[in-house]
């Protein structure tokens, strides 16, 4: 069978090409947030393997109840076209904030060089879109002008910090509009970032190795993050 070896060569070449395409495919993370008055709208969308794997998080409403913040959450996971939506109601108070901080501090302690891992992973991220528009007014012309300058400073500081952590591929779009007609606050933000699937897999493996370097590292991640 003279064609037999060539068949295996073609199959091996096709498999290698498929692996290269998969590892080179982007993991796309898109974020959106909008606040108009007391109304909030937050969304996070993660797509991988050309949309075969997808994760969506939506925060349709958030309200203040005394000293706690009540949030309604929606989470969608999709694998190969199978989609599942889940809804959650949660309440965030001072005790939960303190508890979360302590959990993250513990994870930072039991994971070897977690800060270095975060820095190296973010260096592989390409920020392809960044748009942030804000309209504000305090009811007083002088304070409105001062607030506008402060918001501009905050925005430029944030994008300056990001440019040191990730690769900014396109110029960010930012604007601040003062409103001298009354008290108003509206802001809308969106961004898109990408990382190659191969880099994401490698980062996950590196994190797993770092978790196992310290006794109880894997268990700490399971108890504090994965279970949540």
Tens digit of pLDDT for each residue in 29-54? 999 998 877 777 888 899 988 888 88
- Asked whether residue 73 carries a pLDDT value surpassing 60, the answer given is no
Q: Taking 70 as the threshold, does the pLDDT of residue 112 lie above it?
A: yes
* CATH code for the domain defined by 26-92: 2.20.25
- Cα separation, 44 vs 33, in Å, equals 9
Q: Give the Cα-Cα-Cα angle 10, 14, 15 (nearest 5 degrees).
A: 120
Q: What per-residue confidence (pLDDT) applies to 228?
A: 47
Q: Mean pLDDT in the chain? A: 79
Q: Rounded to an integer, what distance in angstroms lies between the CA atom of residue 38 and that of residue 44? A: 20
Look at 183 and 62; give whichever has higher pLDDT. Answer: 183
Among candidate residues 184, 111, 116, the one with its CA nearest the CA of residue 151 = 184
DSSP H or E stretch at residue 53? strand 53-65
Predicted confidence (pLDDT) at residue 18 exceeds the cutoff of 60: yes
For 197-224, the pLDDT digits (tens) are: 999 999 988 888 877 776 666 666 666 6
For residue 89, what are the CA distances in angstroms to 37, 41, 45, 77? Answer: 22, 15, 20, 18
Q: Band of the pLDDT at 162, cuts 50, 70, 90?
A: very high
Single out the residue of 42, 15, 9, 46 nearest to residue 30, CA to CA. 46
Q: For residue 1, what pLDDT is reported? A: 44
76 vs 136: which has the higher pLDDT: 136
- Annotated domain spans of the chain: 26-92
Q: Are strands 39-48 and 53-65 parallel, antiparallel or unpaired?
A: antiparallel
């Amino acid at each position: 069978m003279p064609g037999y070896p060539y068949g295996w060569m073609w199959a091996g070449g096709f498999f290698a090409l498929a692996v290269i395409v998969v590892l080179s495919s982007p993991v796309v993370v898109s974020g959106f947030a909008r606040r108009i008055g007391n109304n909030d709208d937050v969304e996070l969308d993660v797509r991988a393997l050309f949309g075969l794997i997808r994760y969506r998080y939506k925060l349709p409403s958030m309200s203040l109840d005394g000293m706690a913040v009540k949030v309604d959450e929606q989470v969608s996971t999709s694998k190969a076209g199978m989609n599942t939506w889940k809804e959650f109601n949660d309440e965030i108070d001072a005790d939960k904030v303190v508890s979360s901080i302590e959990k993250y501090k513990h994870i930072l302690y039991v994971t070897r060089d977690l800060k270095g891992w975060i820095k190296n992973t973010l260096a592989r991220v390409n920020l392809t879109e960044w748009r942030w528009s804000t309209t504000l007014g305090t009811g007083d012309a002088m304070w409105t002008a001062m607030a506008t300058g402060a918001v501009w400073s905050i925005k430029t500081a944030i994008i300056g910090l990001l440019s040191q952590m990730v690769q900014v591929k396109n110029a960010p779009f930012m604007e601040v509009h003062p409103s001298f007609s009354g008290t108003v606050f509206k802001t809308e933000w969106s961004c898109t970032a990408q990382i190659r699937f191969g880099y994401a897999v490698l980062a996950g493996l590196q994190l797993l190795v770092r978790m196992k370097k310290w006794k109880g590292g894997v268990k700490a991640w399971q108890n504090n993050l994965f279970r949540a």
